[in-house]
Structures are given as structure tokens and as C-alpha cells.
Structure 1
Amino acid sequence: MNILISGGTGFVGKSLTSSLLEDNHHVYILTRSPDNFTNKEKTTFISYDYPAEKLPAIHAVINLAGESLFGYWTKSKKESILNSRINTTKKMVELMKKLHKKPEVFISGSAVGFYGTSEDLIYTEATAQAGQDFLSKVSVEWEKTAKRAEDLGVRTVFTRFGVILGNEGALPYMALPVKMFAGGKIGNGEQWMSWVHVEDAVKLIQFCIANKNISGPVNVTAPHPKRNKDFTKVLAKVLKRPHWFTTPSLFIYTALGEMSLLIRKGQYVLPQKAMDYNFQFDYPYLEEALRDALLKKL
């Protein structure tokens, strides 16, 4: 297949591209600076204004682009987080409009932040009510923009990612205090962490491409979320470090501002749709996921 990806040079995008190439697909990667990359036999870098008529028949379009959530959330940072997702998604829908033959599926990134935060509720794709915080509002607008692809007759999937475990992303930052013998829970440690190994995230994206009955939201999380206090305890065990510190929530909020929401709060999110379609996770449990993500990269 010919597959078009935005965000193909990011953390998940690089892993997804490698997996697609292993399956002998041709990957077209949208980037603002295609001249900075070298095309290969099955990898072609193109700009966002690349003429649609010059593209071959595209079977699937995947949108993973967006400003990083890391960094102090100033007004301009928040605008960039939102606008980067909305504007890129709009461009991709416009590109699909111009394609003579429409793709079979549009996979558009989203986040479990859609649901808001809770220490008690369990969220699945059947949860229609979005949260009220900043990340919820971003996810709602992101998905609403992507949904325009349905008007083109394109099957559309919103992949709501949890915390992705791998050698990039959030995990190296989470592991650092543990490695420095300062690991422990954040606040009361009761906040849920809905996580997924990057290889399962990639595998589930490809599963959604292949399964023509899947559309709408898909939670890209492992089936066994952990509370922060348990997550950090397993992390310390894997790294063979003590787990004795508690970092006060107020300290995290003072240091990181509104972005601390990512650490202080959480949600219990089940990948119900993936389980209903009998998707097989390679890393359903946290300890084996962390051992692979951390130790084999050393």
C-alpha cells in the first residue's frame, strides 16, 4: 500500500514508518522541510503543499503531527499546541479532497485527555462526554476537525493515545529521578496512568488500517492501567532503585504550572474497542513493557 503520514519523523511516527517499511509498504512522509531528508526506495518526503495530482493512489492517511505538550504552558504555548493540531488536520483533509481517488481510511491522532481526569471513573470509547480542561478541549477540536474526512466518504479513526512507553517521549523523563535514587509517587499517588508500549501503539494503528469495521474513537492504551504510586513502584523495581520519595503536588504545580496536569491528574482508560475486535497486545502488563522499553535500549 501507499501510506501518507504527517508526524512521520516523531517518536511514534518513526516506529510506525519502520514497521510499515518492514511490511513492504511505500511511506510518503509530510514535512515542512523535505529537503532536510533523503528519499529512499520506499520512503518519500514531501512538503504539505505538494501537488496532490502528483501522488499515486494513497490507501491510508495517518496524522500524528502536533506541537509537543512538554514545556511551560504559556498562552502562546497553548495556542501552538491547539493550532498545530487543528491546522495540520485541516491541511490533510484538504489534501484528501484533492485526491482523485480517496484513501480507504484516515487515522487521526488524539489523546486520552479527551475524557478529562478522574480517580474513580472508568472510560471507554463509549464515553461520549468530554472533560472540561485544556487537553480535553484540544482533543475535542482535533477530532471534530478530523471528522470532516467522513464527508469525503473516508473511514475515519481517532486514535486516543495514552502515555506511550519507549526510548523517547515521557518515559525517559519519568525514569530520571528513579535512576538518581529520588523516585517515588507524585502527590497521593492515586492518579491513574493509562499507558501503552510504543510497539503496541504502532501495531494497533496498523490493526485499525486493516480492519475495515473500525471507525471513530479507539483508545490506544494497554488493558491494565496503573495508579501513579504503583507505576513508579514497578519502574523502580525494573531499574533496581529504591522507591521512597513523595513529590508534593504543589511542588509539581509550582515548577511546571498548568502542564503539571499531565503528572498530577490522570484517567483510567480501557482499550475496549481493541479488545472487542480481539487485538492482541504484545505488552499488556506494565513490568514487561518497562523492561523492554528501558533495559533493551541500554
Structure 2
Amino acid sequence: MRALITGGTGLIGTALIKKLRNQYRITVLTRDSVKAYKKLGHDIDTLNDLSSLSSLDSFDAVINLAGEPIADKRWTDKQKERIEQSRWQITEQLAQLCQASEEPPEVLISGSAIGYYGRQGEEPVTEAEPRVHDEFTHRLCAHWEQLALTAESEKTRVCLLRTGLVMAPSGGALARMSLPFKLGMGGPIGHGKQMMSWIHLDDIVDLIIFLLNNEKCSGPYNATAPHPVSNEEFSKTLGKVLHRPVFLRVPAFVMKGLLGEMADMLLTGQAVLPQRAQEAGFQFRHAQLREALQHCF
């Protein structure tokens, strides 16, 4: 079987390819084939531009993980557009190629994020909940998902992966978040009551493979562990795992001054539950935050 993966050199893509390479012949969409081969190995194929394809007839599965990092730069109007287009353009191209295929892929798994729900209170939210807050992250993810769903047909099912904060042993958000804690300067952000929905890297990779292999799965899936926590609890747990004191608090106005509108992602939150994944029979390896962090460190 053959799989096309976008974002294959990213945190999730790299870990996913390690587990899929025995099951699929993998093609990675990348602007730098040399870098991709160096990172992923020479048993993969590379593709530099989707425009070189007229269809996706040769692929059994497509996994779309590409996108400009959302939290790396301040959200200027220009950066917002870059974040949007890095997701929307590739997704639209993939959907059009699916539509142009006589024998399209059996499944398209397309990235999204829990930002789809926008800011929420402490009340849990699931895929069945229509409750959303209309702001940049919601509009970004909603259009992203709409584009992916245009690939859906009798031959192609589409799964949408609404991903939370990914906990990984190296790289990703945890590496950046843990640095001040390691220096003894970590602590809650703002009032600390905002909810954080997270998932261990092992579990998001397992969930993607689960969705690949289960023909009955389609539609949105929250890629989050079943036990979200408040920012204060997250901070205290991270401090305990790292054996560091947690006595500082970062005021909200400092975050807003440093990050502008992007600070809202950290000062507000969502308690997102993986209801559909669990109902489908998916089992989490790392369901509790402390164990997940201990595994990472």
C-alpha cells in the first residue's frame, strides 16, 4: 500500500513514519528532499510539488499534517495569512486531486486543531457539541476542515484530527514550556484556571493509525487525552516531574504585551474530550498528565 504524507518532517509526521514504514510505501511532500531523506531515511519517496500530480490514483491513503507553526511568531495580519494559506492551499489541492481521481485514496486524514472550538470555559466540549467561539483559530480550523471534507466521496472517507497540545520527549511545545521550569522560574499563566487539552505524541500517532485502519471512522476526532487539566494543575505537575519549585505566576498583561493577540491562546482554553475516538474503541497509552510528562522526561 502507498501513503502520501504532508508535514512528514514535523514532530508528528516523523514519529508517524517510523511506525508506518513497514505497512506503507511512503511519499512525503517536502520542499527539501535532501533534508527529508536525512531525517526520515532513504526508504521513502519525496514529492516537491502537488502540481506535478494529476490525480491521487496511486495512493491508498493521504495524511495531511502540513502547516506553518501557529505559535512561533506574533500574529500580525501577514503572519495570520501565512498560517491560513499554509493549511488551506495544500488541503484544497489534495481535495481537488481526490476529486480528479478515478480510484481515489480510501482515506484522507486531515489535520485540524482544538482551536476549532475557540475559547471555552471549564465546561467540557466534545465533537458533538456545536458550541464554538468565533475568533481567528475557529475560522482558521473551520475553513481548513471544510476544504478537507470536499474530498469525501463513496470511495474516500475523511477524518479530521482536532489536535491538542502535543507532549513529546523532544521538540514541540513541551520543550519550550519546560525551559523556565527547569530554571526554577516556571508557574501558571494569568489566573491559571484556563483549561489545557493535551495529548502524548505516542497517542496521536496511534490514533492516526487507528483511523487509517478503521473503515467506519470518518468526520471530526478530538486528538486529546481524556483528562484535560487547568493551567495551574499543569504547571504544578510539570514542576513536580522536573523536581523544581513552582511559585512564580506570569501576569496576563505581560503575556499580552509579549505576544499580542496570540496570548489569548494561553490565557483562555478548552476542556476538550476525545469522545468519538473512545466510542470507536481507541485506547490511550498516556491518559494521565503526570505519567505522560514522566514518560517524556
Give the TM-score normalised by the residue count of structure 2: 0.94
Inter-partner Cα distance in structure 2 for 1:42 and 1:218: 30
Of the structure 1 ranges 103-112 and 56-65, higher mean CA displacement relative to structure 2 is found in: 56-65
Task: State the match for 1:32 in structure 2.
Answer: 31
Task: State the match for 2:212 in structure 1.
Answer: 209
Instruction: State the shift of 1:136 in Å.
Output: 0.7
Of the structure 1 ranges 246-255 and 144-153, higher mean CA displacement relative to structure 2 is found in: 144-153
Select the residue among 273, 277, 290 that pairs with 2:280: 277
Aligned AA (2:232): K
1:279 aligned counterpart, secondary structure: coil
State whether residues 12 and 205 of structure 2, in contact with CA within 8 Å, keep that contact through their aligned partners in structure 1: yes
Instruction: State the shift of 1:76 in Å.
Output: 0.3
How large is the RMSD of aligned CA atoms in angstroms?
Answer: 1.8
Of the structure 1 ranges 30-39 and 272-281, higher mean CA displacement relative to structure 2 is found in: 30-39
State whether residues 160 and 221 of structure 2, in contact with CA within 8 Å, keep that contact through their aligned partners in structure 1: yes
State whether residues 57 and 104 of structure 2, in contact with CA within 8 Å, keep that contact through their aligned partners in structure 1: no
Q: Any residues of structure 2 matched to 1:238-277 within 5 Å, and which?
A: 238-277=241-280
* Cα distance change, pair 152–93 in 1 and its aligned pair in 2 (3 A): farther
Task: Give the count of matched residue pairs.
Answer: 293
Instruction: State the shift of 1:78 in Å.
Output: 0.4
Instruction: State the shift of 1:109 in Å.
Output: 0.2
Inter-partner Cα distance in structure 2 for 1:142 and 1:20: 25
Select the residue among 186, 191, 196 that pairs with 1:183: 186
State whether residues 54 and 97 of structure 2, in contact with CA within 8 Å, keep that contact through their aligned partners in structure 1: no
1:28 aligned counterpart, secondary structure: strand
State whether residues 193 and 267 of structure 1, in contact with CA within 8 Å, keep that contact through their aligned partners in structure 2: yes
Please say if 1:59 is aligned against 2:53. Answer: no
Inter-partner Cα distance in structure 1 for 2:233 and 2:64: 33
Identity between Structure 1 and Structure 2 (%): 39
Task: Name stretches of at least 5 consecutive residues in structure 2 with no aligned partner.
Answer: none
State whether residues 235 and 290 of structure 1, in contact with CA within 8 Å, keep that contact through their aligned partners in structure 2: yes
Inter-partner Cα distance in structure 1 for 2:110 and 2:172: 19
1:185 aligned counterpart, secondary structure: coil
Deviations 1:12-47 (CA, angstroms, capped at 9, x unpaired): 1111111111x3321110112335443956411112
Task: State the match for 1:144 in structure 2.
Answer: 146
1:245 aligned counterpart, secondary structure: coil
Instruction: State the shift of 1:58 in Å.
Output: 1.2
Of the structure 1 ranges 142-151 and 196-205, higher mean CA displacement relative to structure 2 is found in: 142-151
State whether residues 130 and 140 of structure 1, in contact with CA within 8 Å, keep that contact through their aligned partners in structure 2: no
Task: State the match for 2:109 in structure 1.
Answer: 107
Aligned AA (2:272): V
Task: Name stretches of at least 5 consecutive residues in structure 1 with no aligned partner.
Answer: none
Inter-partner Cα distance in structure 1 for 2:51 and 2:43: 18
